[in-house]
A and B are shown apart, each in its own frame.
Chain A
Amino acid sequence: MKLWIAFWNILIKDMRTYYLKPPNISWGLIFPLAWTGMFFIKSGSALGSIQTLLPGVVAISILFGTTSMLAVTVTFEKKNRSFERLLLAPIPLEILMLAKTGGAILFGVANAFVPVAMAAFLIELSQVVWRAFIPAVFLIAVASTFLGLFIAVAVSEVFEAQTFSNFFRFPMIFLCGLFFPVEKLPVFLKPVSYALPLTYGADVLHGAVHGGHAMPFSLDLALLSAFCVGLFAVSLHNIRRRWII
C-alpha cells in the first residue's frame, strides 16, 4: 500500500507539474497538426493520403512528446537536486522509475490520439485494427519514454538532453519506415533500421491503419516489448552506476 501511495503521488505530481501545463498541451496539439499539414501539403494528393500518413504522424507525435519531456524533466530535477529526494525515498528503484516515466507514457499516448482525432474528421477510420493499433501506441510510448530515460541518465545538463534527444529522434524519422518504407532504404542502412524500436511500432501502425505491414503484429509487438524491457534495464543499470556513485 505504501509503495502504491508513493508511486501514485510521483505520477500525479509529474502530470500536474510538467505534462498538464498549457505549453505542453499546446505542444501536444500543434506538433501533430503541423506534421500532418506539412506531409499533406507536400504529397499534394487528396484526403486519401491521410491514411498512409497517419501512422507516421502518430509515431512522431509520441516520439517527440515523450523523449524530450522525460529527458528534460529528469535532467532538470537531477540538476536542481530534487531528484535526490526521490532516491532517498524507501521505494525500490524499479518502482520509482516506473512512476517517474508513467506520466510521460500517458502524455505520449494522449499525444498519439490527437492526430487520430483530427483524421477522424477527414477520413473513415472504421477499417483500423484497434486491437493492434492501441497496443502499438502504448508500446511506442513506453519505448520512447525509456529512450528519454536512457538519454537523461547519460547527460547532466538540460540542453545536452535536448541535443542528445535529437541525435536519436531525427534519424529515427527517416530510418524507421514512418514515411519511407524500410525496404526502399539503402542496404547499409537496413540493419540500423532494424536496430531501432520505432521500426516495429511503425510496422504495426501501418498494418493497423491501411494493411501494409512487413511482419506479423505479434512479432512486431514482441520485439517492441523486448526493446522496452531492454531500455528500462539498461537505464536502471546506468542510474545505479552513475547516480548512486
Chain B
Amino acid sequence: MPWRRQGAHLRPAEAPEMTDTIAVEGLRKCFAEVEAVSEISFSVSQGELFGFLGPNGAGKTTTINMLTGLARPDSGTICIGGIDCTGNPRAAQHLVGVVPDESNLYPELTGFGNLCFCSALHGLRKAERQARAQELLDVFGLTEAADRKFGGYSKGMKRKLTIAAGIIHKPEILFLDEPTTGIDVASARQLRQLIADLHQAGTTIFLTTHYIEEAERLCDRIAFIVSGRIVRIDTVENLVQPMQVKHVVQLTCENALSDMLTRLSESFPDLKFEDSGKGLIRVEGDEPIRVGPLVRFLEDQGGEVSEARRMRPSLEDVFVRITGIEADAMRKEKEKAGGGQ
C-alpha cells in the first residue's frame, strides 16, 4: 500500500493528489555532537523530479544515505515505494538506483565489466546484463571506451558510467547525489539532458545539487536545506511568485535618442524607466506591463527595438532571500572542495 504523507503544509496547494514514492517524517541524524539532519519531513510523488538544494554540509548526502540504507536515522520514519524502511534501512533496495557524489565503480574492471557486474548485483541474467550494458554504453557515448579500465577514465566519463551503473537495473526510484559536480560544461549539459529523459520516462528522481540553475531547470519541486533543516519546499513557480512584487520588462533599443526616457515617462506615467546602458531600457510597473504600446512608441520615435524580455526573479534570488546564503559563495565553496563545472 502506498504510504501517504501527513505534513500537508509541504505540498503546494494546486498539486494533484498522488501516491508518495518517498515519504519521510521527522528524520534526524546526529554524528557525535553535530546534528547533521534535523527532523526533516517531505514526500516525493511517483514520477516526480525532486530537488534537494543546499550548501556543503547542509545534510544532503546524509539524507540520501539514510534513504538508501547506507545510514541509520536516529529518529523519524522513511517509506520508499510503500515499504517502511525505518527498522530495516535496506528493505527497499530492489526499487532504488543510487548515483553517489563520487564515482565508486571498480577501477580494475573495464567500463563494460563494471556495468555487467552492477547489473549482476541486481540479479540480471548474463544475456540481459550484456545487452543492457551495451545499450547504456551507447546512450552515454562510451562505446569506444567499453574495454578500457574504469581507473583510466576521465572525470566526465567516470561520472557518466557511474550514472549508467545507477540505472542499469531500471530502478523505479533514482537518487542522484550532485551528479554534475566537477565535470566539464559539455558533459554536465549532456547529463542534465539524460536526467530530463529519465524523468520523462517516468522515473522518480531525488536530486541533490548545489547548482541553483540546475535545480531550477530540472526539478518539479525543490527543497532548500540549510544546516540540516528544510527551510522551504515548493515548485519553482511558487517559490519565485512571492518575490515578484514588481513587474519588469527589459527592452533592447538601438538608435535611442538621449531624451527617450523622459519622453517614455511622460507618455507612460504609470511605469518607471531606467537606462541600463548599451541600449537596454528597464521598465518597471506595479501591474503586468503591455509590451506592444511601448515598442510602437519607441519605433515611432525613431528607435529600433530588437528585443523585449519579461524579467522575473530567479530561483537564486529566492534562495538568497530565504537562506541568507549567497549562491555564488556556495558555488565557490564547492569548487574549492574539489568540484567545479
Interfacial residues, chain A to chain B (CB-CB below 8 A): 1-3, 5-6, 8-10, 13, 17, 80-82, 84-91, 93, 244-245
Contacts and interface: CB of A to CB of B under 8 A. Distances in A.
A3 B69 CA distance: 18
Q: Is the interface of A mostly helix, strand, loop or mixed?
A: helix
Interface in B53-94: 68-72, 89-90, 93-94
Given A17-B106, A244-B69, A244-B70, A84 B117 contact: no
Contacts of B102: 81
Tell me which of B70, B96, B123 has the highest count of chain A C-beta atoms within 10 A of its own C-beta.
B123
28 contacts: A2-B123, A5-B120, A5-B125, A6-B122, A8-B120, A9-B120, A10-B121, A17-B106, A17-B109, A80-B104, A81-B100, A81-B104, A84-B100, A85-B121, A85-B165, A87-B69, A88-B70, A88-B93, A88-B96, A89-B93, A89-B121, A89-B122, A90-B121, A90-B122, A244-B72, A244-B89, A245-B71, A245-B72
Contacts of A91: 121
Given A6-B121, A85-B105, A90-B90, 14 more contacts: A5-B124, A5-B125, A8-B120, A13-B117, A17-B109, A85-B118, A85-B121, A87-B69, A87-B70, A88-B69, A88-B93, A89-B122, A90-B122, A244-B89
Interface string B274-318: 000000000000000000000000000000000000000000000
Interface in B121-135: 121-125
A87 B96 CA distance: 12
A86 B122 CA distance: 10
A93 B117 CA distance: 18
A132 B196 CA distance: 62
B98 interface: yes
Contacts of A8: 120
A187 to B, nearest CB: 44
A200 to B, nearest CB: 35
Given A1-B123, A87-B70, A89-B93, A82 B105 contact: yes
B107 interface: yes
Interface of B: 68-72, 89-90, 93-94, 96, 98, 100, 102, 104-109, 117-118, 120-125, 165
A13 B109 contact: yes
B104 A84 contact: yes
A8 B120 CA distance: 9
A33 to B, nearest CB: 28
B90 A93 contact: yes
B28 to A, nearest CB: 14
B310 to A, nearest CB: 45
A2 B72 CA distance: 26
Contacts of A17: 106, 108-109
Contact of A6 (B68, B106, B109, B123): B123
Tell me which of A1, A2, A3, A93 has the highest count of chain B C-beta atoms within 10 A of its own C-beta.
A2
A86 to B, nearest CB: 7
Nearest to B72: A244
A90 B118 contact: no
Contacts of B117: 9, 13
A6 B117 CA distance: 9
B98 to A, nearest CB: 5
Nearest to B125: A5
Contacts of B72: 244-245
A10 B123 CA distance: 11
Contacts of B120: 5-6, 8-9
Nearest to B98: A88
